[in-house]
Amino acid sequence: MSHHQSLSLEPVQTRHWFAQLDLHLERRGAKSVLSHVRHQGPLRVQRPFYPEENGCCHVYLLHPPGGMVLGDLLQINIAAAPGATGLITTPSAGKIYRAQGFQEVQRQQVHISSASGSCIEWLPQETIVFNGANGRLRTRLELEGDARACVWDVVCLGRPASDEVFSEGRCEQILEIYRDNRPLLIERNRFDGGDERMQARWGLHNAPVAGTFLATLKPTRDRVDALVEALEALAPAPDHQWGLTQKGELFIVRYLGQSTRLCRAGFEYVWRELRMDLTGAQAVAPRIWNT
């Protein structure tokens, strides 16, 4: 697949708000640059930032409407050329608003393609799925050669701070990772408001927040034990459950609990601890995370 070819994973619904953003990163001299940016509809990026000495390009993705309504489609395509490094994040939580009758889906599709020698970090803020929404979130990574990646995906069902329970509607969360066209992970979660799985102990156990963190790393057993201890101290059971596993070349951290803030804090802690192994540089958090 060409790294300069954007991918449309599903047909565009012209009756609704379609937005697409294509980003291409290349290594030029001492830093990585946005060599190509193309947008359609309300998706933009701010100018790139360079808070790291290694020239990693930090990009803030902006969606001015702030959320998706019935039938909307957001398509985000990120391509990294050999040797390019980029960290892409968002300044605020995404939102999927109530969809009357659930006839049509509100979709966000993220496609990341990384050439050998590149590293992409896709670290957006959480997605809040309002009660009665009909959301479909799909993230697909295609890695070539020794390309590296770090991704997290946090979903909040309902609005716990407003005592809104996710009692109706649905949200489908799809995560796919390939290396050289071979699948490393294909995962699909479906959350149905009011379903017994939302309350059952073998399901979500009334936890509104579910998060997945993954990186192309193999930390040692001692480091994993230390991460487990730190995460459990940050957000202890029973309100917060952490799971850390190694699946082939992917290190995976999962969160199920009551707080997007603590989920994000835990994922950021793991990211900081492992960043040197991933990129060869200490973590420098995007400034926008502090606002």
Percentage of the chain lying above the pLDDT 90 cut:
62
Could you tell me the residue ranges of all domains in the chain?
18-290
User: 250 has which bridge partners?
Assistant: 247
Are 111 and 77 a contacting pair, CB within 8 Å? yes
Mean model confidence pLDDT for the chain: 88
Question: Is the pLDDT confidence value at 280 over 60?
Answer: yes
pLDDT of residue 203: 60
For the cut 60, the answer to whether the pLDDT of residue 257 exceeds it is yes
Q: Say which residue the tokens 């997605």 belong to.
A: 127
Q: What pLDDT does 196 receive?
A: 67
User: 251 pLDDT exceeds 50?
Assistant: yes
pTM of the model: 0.90
CA-wise closest residue to 107 among 139, 131, 77: 139
262-to-129, 140, 259, 267, 274 alpha-carbon distances in Å: 18, 25, 5, 9, 18
Side by side, the strands of the sheet bearing 134-143 are: 31-40, 18-28, 73-80, 106-114, 134-143, 170-179, 182-192
Give the pLDDT confidence score for residue 200 in this predicted structure: 57
pLDDT at 10: 43
Identify the pLDDT of residue 226.
Answer: 97
The angle subtended at Cα 185 by Cα 103 and Cα 8, nearest 5°, is: 45
For 146-169, write each residue's pLDDT tens digit.
999 999 999 998 887 777 787 788
Phi, psi of 266 (to 5 degrees): -65, -45
Among 129-133, 148-152, 164-168, 256-260, the range with the most confident prediction by mean pLDDT is 148-152
- Could you tell me which residue, 26 or 91, shows the higher pLDDT? 26
Q: What pLDDT is attached to residue 150?
A: 98
Q: Which amino acid is at 39?
A: H
Cβ-contact 46, 64 below 8 angstroms: no
For the cut 60, the answer to whether the pLDDT of residue 15 exceeds it is no
pLDDT tens sequence across 48-59: 999 999 999 999
Least confident of 118-122, 236-240, 253-257, 263-267: 236-240
Least confident residue range of 49-58, 93-102, 128-137, 237-246: 93-102
**pLDDT at residue 202, rounded to an integer:** 58
Give me the pLDDT at residue 114, please. Answer: 98
Query: Which range among 64-68, 181-185, 242-246, 260-264 shows the weakest confidence by mean pLDDT?
Result: 64-68
